[in-house]
Amino acid sequence: MSGAETKAGEAIAIGIDVGTSGARVAALDRQGALVDSVAERYPGGADRADPTSWWQAVSTCLDRLAAAMPLASIEALAVDGTSGTMLGLHADGRPAARPLLYDEPCPDEAIIAAVNAAAPAESPARGSSSALARAIFLSRQDGVVRLAHQADWIAAQITGAAPMSDANNALKTGYDPLHEKWPDWIASAGLEVARLPKVVLPGRPAAQLGAAAAKRFGLPVGAILAGGTTDGCASFLATGADRPGDAVTALGSTLVLKLLSDRPVNAPQFGIYSHRIGDMWLAGGASNAGGAVLAAFFDADQIAALTPQLMPETPTGLDYYPLNRPGERFPIADPNLEPRLSPRPEEDARFLQGLLEGIASVEALGYRRLAEIGAPRLASVRAVGGGAKNPGFTRIRERALGVPFLPAVSTEAAVGAARLALKAIGAA
């Protein structure tokens, strides 16, 4: 059950991650060391938009953690959730309609058009993936009187109070993190701001736990609920990156770059916007290049067998831009960009190295692009995802980026959420 091989000090902070397939809870000590963690998948066959399944998984994790250690020492907790997942609630906080998930577009195109017309050009609330459009759609369903994000609702189940949100989860719903308010234009898009939750910054005290949390889980009355964040931001925080110029590259089926900045950076043409993290900002972009392209040519066993044959110190000279189909989001915003995957050498190892070099070149261009639009220059990189485990690929990336590669302290979003809880009480 434990996520740590050895016990650290006494746990004082809990992070709760509500992910796409299950929940995880991590407990940290005052120095930020992991004390324990537990995970629970959502029930098989359940609707992934069922709040009952979310809460069941979180409750199971907290119960298992409480069975492993007393939770009376916990001073703060924070929750992260999937970005843009929206709920419409009755006055008493019960869901009044099926939630709309982060990857489900608003079913009403007229609402999307109204948001696009009302929102500033740089707002991340625009477009088919708009969380604000989902919120407006839900607000028109029978019985809905208030709205909340996934993380807000889970936190409210623990505190027993009305849902409160954070500036990261609220960003795609139109919240202005720079001026710390819901902007007036939201009403023009078709939603009364009063139906949206109050918002605090991530890592700031938001509420205190009451008797219900003490009775149900053994959490102490008066412990602090800190402003949470999205699952993506929590994963970044878990790595230990904490200075402007620190970056985290996710090497999964796609290539996702996140860079800590001392100023907000927005470039709608690249899908780039900034989440607020204390007095800093987290900017990033996502490319269509990545592991999915490799998987079109090689399976995992083949890549493992070919990796010892890679020669990272001797570049192939193959100038690939690895895409599975035309179209790129970042660092080149071109829906018609053609893949560049030829010529293909006869040797599989050389072809694989060329693909890896191409992905590394896209990564390097991505960080240069972020600097061009106002973010700090890249200072260090931590990597997460399956690609981070390949030593040959790591060396290719080191040569392409030319900055220190640092180990990730953790890759668990729950640990990042727990770090926000520590921040709320001035620890670590």
Q: What is the pTM of this model?
A: 0.91
Does residue 154 sit within a domain?
yes
Q: Is residue 406 part of a domain?
A: no
352 with 323, same domain: the answer is yes
Determine, yes or no, domain membership for 2: no
Beta strands per DSSP E along 221-347: 224-226, 229-230, 246-251, 255-261, 274-277, 280-287
Same domain, 337 and 390: yes
CATH of the domain at 76: 3.30.420.40
Tell me if 407 is assigned to some domain. Answer: no
Shared domain check, 129 and 65:
yes
pLDDT, position 30: 95
Considering the domain architecture, whether residues 187 and 90 belong to the same structural domain is answered as yes
Q: Residue 188 is part of which domain span? A: 11-232+412-424
Residue 1, domain member (yes or no):
no
Domain assignment present for residue 392? The answer is yes
Q: How many domains are contained in the chain? A: 2
Reading the chain (428 residues) residue by residue, the pLDDT tens digits are: 344 444 578 999 999 999 989 999 999 999 999 999 999 999 888 788 999 999 999 999 999 999 999 899 999 999 999 999 999 999 999 999 999 999 999 999 999 999 999 999 989 999 888 999 999 999 999 999 999 999 999 999 999 999 999 999 999 999 999 999 999 999 999 999 999 999 999 999 999 999 989 999 999 999 999 999 999 999 999 999 999 999 999 998 899 999 999 999 989 888 899 999 988 999 988 999 999 999 999 999 999 999 999 999 999 999 999 999 999 989 999 999 999 999 999 999 999 999 999 999 999 999 999 999 999 999 999 999 889 999 999 999 999 999 999 999 999 999 999 999 999 999 86
**Identity of the amino acid at 175:** Y
User: Do 205 and 276 lie in a common domain?
Assistant: no
Buried b (16+ CB within 10 A) or exposed e, 149-162: bbbbbbbbbbbebb
Domain-embedded: residue 124: yes
Residue 124 shares a structural domain with residue 268: no
> Do the beta carbons of residue 307 and residue 387 sit within 8 Å?
no
From the number of C-beta atoms within 10 Å of its C-beta (0-12, 13-18, 19+), residue 418 rates as: buried
Q: Is the Cβ–Cβ distance between 230 and 169 less than 8 Å?
A: yes
Do 286 and 137 fall within a single domain? no
State the pLDDT at residue 428: 67
Q: Looking at the structure, do residues 226 and 250 belong to the same domain, yes or no?
A: no
Co-location of 37 and 179 in the same domain? yes
Which two tokens mark 281? 């900002």
Residue carrying structure tokens 């009451």: 210
354 occurs within a structural domain:
yes
Distances (CA, A) of 12 to 26, 388, 389, 425: 11, 31, 32, 10
- The answer on 15 and 161 residing in a single domain is yes
Alpha carbon distance 60, 25 (integer Å): 10
Does 52 lie in the same domain as 153? yes
Other Cβ atoms within 10 Å of 320 Cβ, number: 23
Q: Looking at the structure, do residues 251 and 225 belong to the same domain, yes or no?
A: no
Per the CB < 8 A criterion, the answer to whether 40 and 22 are in contact is yes
User: Which residues are registered as beta bridge partners of 276?
Assistant: 281
